[in-house]
Structure 1
Amino acid sequence: MAAHRRLIRRTAIAVTAGAAALVLAACSSDGGGHDMGSMNSDSSPSATASAKAGAHNDQDVSFAKEMIQHHRQAVSMADLAADRASSQDVKDLATKIKGAQDPEIKTMSGWLTSWGEEVPEDMSSSMPGMDHDMSSSMPGMMSSDDMDKLEKASGTEFDKMFLEMMVEHHEGAVEMAKMQKADGKYGPATKLADDVITAQTAEIKEMNKMLGKS
């Protein structure tokens, strides 16, 4: 009987030790798995989100640089309307264009700076006409001669010339914005392209109506 009890006691101890070992192994496995999962879930998505937020390509850079110069010319044209236009509607439209495009120039300049790219130099104030000629390859940009003619015009002649030029200018901007939507990668730039298409398409219709074309 004594030998039998000792056998039972040894068996119980062995079973208990084995169970404890299994529990420790399970805890170790769960803890390690949780830590790795936590590390992955904490770092990978945030890193991916960060990369996605700043991801851009050559099209985004080109869009920002070219649209900045495109907008600058539109703002220069709008500035002329204040003391040359005879129509209050033309003056109001010019104010609207300037009010929309000035902030967009600042926004796009900020993107370029954050990407380590140079913001195009604004030479329109010191060297009239030069920026227009340098950017003449962009859709809808006026030449230096066009800008000179607009600057010399006044009254109803200015109104008509301004509207015709700005329609062409806006059509060019819409074309550039569509290229950005097709090939761009940076979300905010594509969103701005959408805004340009919406706003300037509406203004084209408005200007054509003022010209009696629709």
Structure 2
Amino acid sequence: MDFKNINIMVGIAALFSTVSLNSYSGDLNDGHLHKMLTYEVKSDRKVYTVLTPLKEIVPQNLKGFKEYDEYAHSIMMSDSSQVFLTKDVGNNFVVYMIPHHESAIITSLGVLKYTQNSEVKNLADRIIRAQEKEVEFMQKLLESGELRGNDNEKFLGKMKKIMTKMMKDMKPYADQSNDADEVTKNYLQNMIIHHEGAVNMAKEYLKNGKNKELIKMANGIVLSQDEEIKEMKEILKKAN
């Protein structure tokens, strides 16, 4: 399967499409879905895939933390990358993890604009830098065709279950204002849940994965994001 050609085909289809929902979205409550469905993505390209270069993912015209938050959710919920799924554990892990990382990058860029908390700014900057590198690494690995032959049909269901729980637990930022304290709290609360989702997905991959580079990255996610979860909980405690 030539994933590069698939990416081009999906990109062409994007000209005639709007953001649609991933297969796990049916498990989300109506209120949460309504917030996502009524949000119009502020971008020329309305559908992205896991192979879209990261610089093309983040639009330049988002206004307010609410738009950053909603756009990040729409990236995770888009079904445009479903065509890349196979039976391979590593392949499916990165197809789920790439938009998960992109969402963290987008909300972190948003919080940098609106928070006044220096600890949160430092944290968001670290998240952006670390996850940008990991997105680029996963895209290269996916496109290389190396993630083949380690089939496990049950693995995909586990990824879906983790993502569904995470999306249910996260609370979209509903305020039209950009109150620095409210933005900071919402970012921390959601990013804790978001990181927990990444850690759980990485742990599932480590149970089944065989690609040495991806195992190294997954171990790094578990270690670094567990520490960041602790850090965020401490910052949130002080913010409250």
The TM-score, its normalising length taken from structure 1, stands at 0.59
Q: Percent identity?
A: 33
Q: CA deviation at 1:153?
A: 3.9
Q: Is the 8 A contact 2:162 2:197 kept in 1?
A: no
Name the structure 1 match of 2:131.
101
Residues 8-32 of structure 1: per-residue CA shift (max 9 Å, x gap): xxxxxxxxxxxxxxxxxxxxxxxxx
Q: Is the 8 A contact 2:192 2:232 kept in 1?
A: yes
Q: Does 1:167 align with 2:197?
A: no
List, as ranges, runs of 4+ consecutive aligned residues in structure 1 with deviation greater than 2 Å: 139-143, 145-154
In 1, Cα distance between equivalents of 2:186 and 2:114: 11
Letter of the 1:79 partner, please give it: L
Q: CA deviation at 1:139?
A: 5.6
**Cα distance change, pair 189–151 in 1 and its aligned pair in 2 (3 A):** farther
Letter of the 1:114 partner, please give it: S
Question: Mind listing any 5+ residue stretches in structure 1 that lack a counterpart?
Answer: 1-56, 118-134
Letter of the 2:201 partner, please give it: M
Q: How does 1:56-135 map to 2 (within 5 A)?
A: 58-115=88-145
Question: Mind listing any 5+ residue stretches in structure 2 that lack a counterpart?
Answer: 1-86, 148-159
Q: CA deviation at 1:91?
A: 1.1
**Cα distance change, pair 65–85 in 1 and its aligned pair in 2 (3 A):** same
Q: Tell me the C-alpha RMSD between the 2 structures.
A: 2.7
Task: Tell me the secondary structure at the aligned position of residue 185 of structure 1.
Answer: coil
Aligned partner (choices 206, 222, 230) of residue 197 of structure 1: 222
Q: Does 1:209 align with 2:229?
A: no
Name the structure 2 match of 1:149.
174
Q: CA deviation at 1:212?
A: 1.5
Q: Is the 8 A contact 1:177 1:194 kept in 2?
A: yes
Say which one has the larger Rg. 1
The TM-score, its normalising length taken from structure 2, stands at 0.53
Structure 1 or 2: more helix by fraction: 1
Residues 31-62 of structure 1: per-residue CA shift (max 9 Å, x gap): xxxxxxxxxxxxxxxxxxxxxxxxxx711001
